[in-house]
Amino acid sequence: MSLLGFCQWLANTPGSIALHESIWAYPIVESVHVLTLCLFLGLTVMLDLRLLGVTMTRTPASEVLGRLLPWTIVGFAVMVATGALLFFAIPVKTYLNIFFRVKVAFLLLAGVNVAIFQRTVSRRMHQWDTDPVPPLGARLAAGVSLVLWAGIVVAGRMIAYNWFDKNP
Contacts of 84 (CB under 8 A, 6+ apart): none
Q: Where are the alpha helices (DSSP H) in 3-135?
A: 3-11, 14-21, 25-52, 61-89, 91-95, 98-119, 125-128
Among 10, 25, 60, 129, binds other proteins (CB under 8 A): 60
Please say whether the beta carbons of 3 and 95 come within 8 A: yes
46 touches other proteins by CB under 8 A: yes
Q: Of 104-112, 116-124, 131-139, 158-166, which segment contacts other proteins by CB under 8 A?
A: 158-166
55 is an interface residue for other proteins by CB under 8 A:
yes
Closer CB to other proteins, residue 3 or residue 160? 160
CB 79 within 8 A of CB 87: no
Given candidates 59, 104, 131, 147, which one binds other proteins under the rule CB under 8 A? Answer: 59
Site for other proteins in 76-135 (CB under 8 A): none
**What single letter denotes the amino acid at residue 81?**
A
- Give the C-alpha separation, 75 to 73, whole Å: 5
Binding site for other proteins (CB under 8 A): 27, 30-31, 34-35, 37-39, 41-46, 49, 55-60, 63-64, 67-68, 71, 149-150, 153-154, 157-158, 160-161, 163
